[in-house]
Every structure is written in structure tokens, then in C-alpha cells.
Amino acid sequence: MDAKILLVDDSSTTLLMEEMLFKKYTKYEILTARDGAEAVQKALTEKPSLILMDVVMPKMDGFEACRTMRRKDQLRDVPIILVTSRGEPYNVETGFESGCNDYLTKPINGRELLEMVNGYLAPQGAC
Amino acid sequence: MANKGQGRTTPADKNSDLSQVPLEEVLESRAEEYLQMCWEIPTENERHAVATKLYAACRRLSAAVRERDAAAAVLEIASNLMACEEMAILQMKTNSKELSFIDSVGLSEKQRHSLQGSAARISAGIDRGRVYMAGENESGDELLTSLGIQAFVPLWQNRKTKGAIVFFNLLPQRHGFEPGDRELLDLFSVYAGPCLFNA
């Protein structure tokens, strides 16, 4: 079965870019959410293989969503990559403290993104 | 994608073609062209990253035409694809050349005052119609440089400049502009004006 990725971002621009890259270069099934609260709900029901999540979002930010997911047994071991424009060391540190596995800063480089995700999921769905 | 140099099609030339076809269709068509480029270029190639960004920008602007949220779309695209979170979108009145803010994000009081205090010269910059990027300074760019503006994008509509997007500091992870940024700014110069001012 192909891996399932949950993309979480309130920016349509970033979602468009990520969806295009994954649909073209991988066989992963793609799910999306627009804020941290929706992401937690969707992660619990859909059980994704990996979560790619923005930090600055309405309702619940990426740090809080990450902490919430890590408190759930079903999501404790799901790789979470935070993708954000907040690349300052303080924010990176907060990201890892919240339980993320990796951290990418915007603007996204497609090749880096694919390599990082495939590093966690290959050979589940990478082309 | 346009290259810098001789024979380059200007934003005004490209903008003049927009009156014949619905804007949403034009943007979707450009998005398809960039998507095709993504398919043809290996991911290791720098041009792949550029084409990916331009694809996303065109699709987002196309959605903005439908949803009438062009200003928000421009700010969002720049934030996500250029890592700039200090910017303003200005509109210029055709006759009086008076400037007004359509939208902005992250501006300090100082930056806002500097734009307001230099309105006449900013308007002159809009009339010049040339995309400015820090580091590519030409004669006439001194004001923009002195205000700490990192990029300045005149917005064309119907072969006239009607406003500008002004970019101040990039986020700390960016150490200046990359080649693809120029193409994104050119894209804004051609298409953001019609998206903003036709709405």
C-alpha cells in the first residue's frame, strides 16, 4: 500500500507546490489540512505515514499541533516535518522541543523536500 | 521564461496581451506552461525549482481572480515563495499620482512613514515601469536603495503602471535574491496589476 502524506498549511501557494511535487514524483496519497486543529483531527482519522506541517497557522499553530499529536498514542511515531518561514534558531529549537522529526525553511526547494520525505518513507511510494 | 538581456519582452508588452482573453484563463495557461517545464527539467536543475515556484504563483493568482482576494494572494505568494514578510501593495491615481496602500504586512512605522514621505518619488519610480532588485542598481534607483527597499515591482494594467509592490527585508534565512526571484517579480509586474485592479 502506498504511503499517505498529510500536508498542513494555511497557504494555498505552498499546498499547490507541495501537491504538484508529490503527485508528479511519488506515488504517495496526499491529504491536506488548513490549520493545526484540522490537522490533528485528520491525522487521527486518516493515520498518515508522514505529516508535513507549517508553523504559523490560524486556530492552532504547528508547534501546538505537533505537541498534541505526540500526546496521542496513534500519532506518537508518525514522522512530522515542520515547514516554515520561521527559520530562526529559536524557532527551530521550539520545533524540535514540540516533537517534530525535521525542519525545513521556506521558500521550499522541491528537490530538498522530496529527498527529505523519501528519506523517511522510501521505499513505500517514491518513484 | 524570460531571460535578462537584449530582446527581452518587457512587462508592458506581456501585459498588453491580457485584454483579449479572460485573466483566469491566461494564468491557468501560464501555470500549465510552467508545469510542463517542471516535467521536462530534472529536479537537480536550478530551473526546476524556479518553474515550480512560478507554477504555484500562477495557480494561486488564478484562484485569486475567482475568489477576489488578489491582495492577500500577492502577499501570501511573496511570503511563501520569496520569504519576505515586510511588504506593501500601493495604488497610484492616474492623474494626481497620489499613492494609497491597498494592503501591507509586517511594515514598521519607519518603513510606512518612509513610503508616505517619499510618495512623489515612489510614484516617479512606478512611472519608470522597471522592476528593481537590490544589487542590480541602475541610475535612478538611489531613492529605493536609500529607503532600504529590497525589491520594487511596478504593476501594469492596460499598458499603464497603476501601482507597485514594495518589498523590504527578506527573512534571515535568505541571503539576498536568487535568479528565480527576478522571474517571480516579473510575473507579479505583468499579472498582479490586472488581478488587483480589475477586481
Number of domains in chain A: 1
Is A81 a member of any domain? yes
Instruction: Pull the grid cell for residue B191.
Output: 499579472
Is A125 a member of any domain? no
The average confidence (pLDDT) of chain A is 93
Is A80 a member of any domain? yes
Report which of B89, B97, B81 is spatially closest to residue B197, judged by C-alpha positions: B89
Is A127 a member of any domain? no
Number of domains in chain B: 1
Is A126 a member of any domain? no
* Residues near B148 by beta carbon (within 8 Å), at least 6 away in sequence: B111, B114, B168, B169
* Nearest-CA distance B28 → chain A (Å): 13
Per-residue model confidence (pLDDT) at position B4: 42
Is the separation of the CB atoms in B103 and B71 below 8 Å? Answer: yes
Separation of alpha carbons B167 and B153, rounded Å: 8
Q: Which domain holds residue B130?
A: 19-197
* CATH for A15: 3.40.50.2300
Is the separation of the CB atoms in A41 and A51 below 8 Å? Answer: no
Is the separation of the CB atoms in B78 and B84 below 8 Å? Answer: yes
> Above 70 in pLDDT, residue A10?
yes
The model's pTM:
0.90
Which of A16, A26, A84, A114 to substitute to test the interface with B, most B CBs within 10 Å? A16
Is A36 a member of any domain? yes
Render pLDDT for B70-121 as a digit per residue (tens, 0 to 9). Answer: 999 999 999 999 999 999 999 999 888 999 999 999 999 999 999 999 999 8
Render pLDDT for A56-113 as a digit per residue (tens, 0 to 9). Answer: 999 999 999 999 999 999 999 999 999 988 888 888 999 999 999 999 999 999 999 9
Residue A68, SS3 per DSSP:
helix
Which of B40, B52, B67 to substitute to test the interface with A, most A CBs within 10 Å? B52
Q: What is the ipTM of this complex?
A: 0.89
A12 touches chain B (CB under 8 A): yes
The average confidence (pLDDT) of chain B is 89
Q: Which domain holds residue A90?
A: 4-119
* CATH for B175: 3.30.450.40
Is B9 a member of any domain? no
Nearest-by-Cβ selection for B53 from A12, A24, A107: A107
